[in-house]
Structure 1
Amino acid sequence: MKSNDLPRETVRYPSVNDSIDQHSAGYKRRDFLKIVGATAGAAGLVSVGVGIAPEKAEAFAYEPYFTDDQLTTVVTSCAHNCGSRHVLVAHKKGDVIVRLSTDNGEYQANGAYGKDTFEEPQLRACLRGRSYRARLYSPERLLYPMKRVGARSEHKFKRISWDQALDEIAQKMTQLKKDFGPTALLDQSYAGASYGVLHKSDQIEGLLGRFLGMFGCRTNSWSVPSYQGTTFSSRMTFGTIQDGNEDDTFAHSKLIIMWGWNP
């Protein structure tokens, strides 16, 4: 999908840097220095009383720029797997999210703008969460079922309908169960956004786990694949995964490695 195919509100708007790049793209460094030198020399020849008409200024404001009273507000949360689940507030125009904000105190019990107490602190999202709109409307996001054509190594796909995708998946699942038995389908563990979207998908009470259980063909893996490094190092260091460093050790540490962790 090209940016021109997106709704008006989702297209990336130009910045001042875009203007600079467009005007300077055709110049080499030497040409640029010549122009700057000539401009500086000419400036010394112009008297104070002589006026020079300025170039027309170009604005780079959002178009259109909606005010809060023109938008619908939906309170949700970030789906990234950093463990925070901070508040995200989607400001929508119709079905399009125009911008995202976060907790400002209004969304708590008896909340008010600016409320931020020890008992009820604001759950402010980080920049990663607040940039979720760019991910939601990314031109690289898949919007339709895509079927591989050719060999796996060719990376070629074609768009198919939802009905065709569902039919082919159902036929494949039924055939695998018939040919190889009830252990043929692997329900891989999930985490992060997929865990929330699919409703605790790696647990038997989750939607996907319940569906495969009723289908009578479910083999699931234990825990999260990337979790084994944590469990192994904890066992080797502390003897158990239920123990760890005390908080005051942070103040006395010379090196702290935070791997994929939102502190």
Structure 2
Amino acid sequence: MHHSYLDKYSYIKSPIHRLDARVKTITFLIFILFIIFTAPDYYLSFLIYGLILSILITLSKIPLRFVVTKTLVLVPFVLMIAVFIPFFKQGEILAEFSFYGMKAEITGAGLIMFWAVIIKAYLSMLCVILLISTTVFTSFLKALEKLYMPKVFIMIMSFMYRYIFIILDELMKMNQAKLARGAKNRGWFNVKVLSNMLGVLFVRAYEKGENVYLAMNARGFQGDIRTLEQFRITKFDIMFLIIIISCLSGIKIFAE
């Protein structure tokens, strides 16, 4: 089965790809922290953050369509959370609505906070997509291990990323088997058929999990991430980290 993996462009040769995985992880984490702690009404800072990320995306040679598609998938979830902010933030009232006797007021401060949440979330998602797309996923996990992240957290990420596609494969095979037996293709909206498929999928996932557990024990797995790549921080890595932090600090000092 064909799947769109997050790290499908991690083997491109570019300056961003050549960076040490630990340096990239620290750099983009700092970038996200600067974005989060920027005041909601400092739009110039957000604009400069976006320009820096655009330059990094261009240097990484990752197709812009891939980046935009991946980030837009997450935007609806952010909107579901942020859509209520303009109604609960106190401040100058810009508009009033009445719905079945219930009054709702949109405030100026609420709108500013709403747009700030959307912008911060989108810029943070760009940082994450850029980090994952330019780093082989096993190398990213190894970098987290080197940075002393909890092993349980790393293992959960590893298993989730590896086996979610296996479960999707099983679901697609079951759907193909259903169509091969002459069942009408009504998409995924046939509740009875879908519930039966999910029940079988749960049993298969449980059995596959048992097989994977036994295989891991047989191979002496102890929770360590093993890769062929040897991490080595170069002068280019240090320069990249210094340049990004200097730019972010300059934005914090002069643009705010």
TM-score in terms of structure 2 length: 0.21
More strand by share: 1
**Which gives a bigger RCO, structure 1 or 2 (Cα 8 Å, sep 6+)?**
2
Larger radius of gyration: 1
Q: Which has the higher helix share?
A: 2
TM-score, with normalisation over the residues of structure 1? 0.20
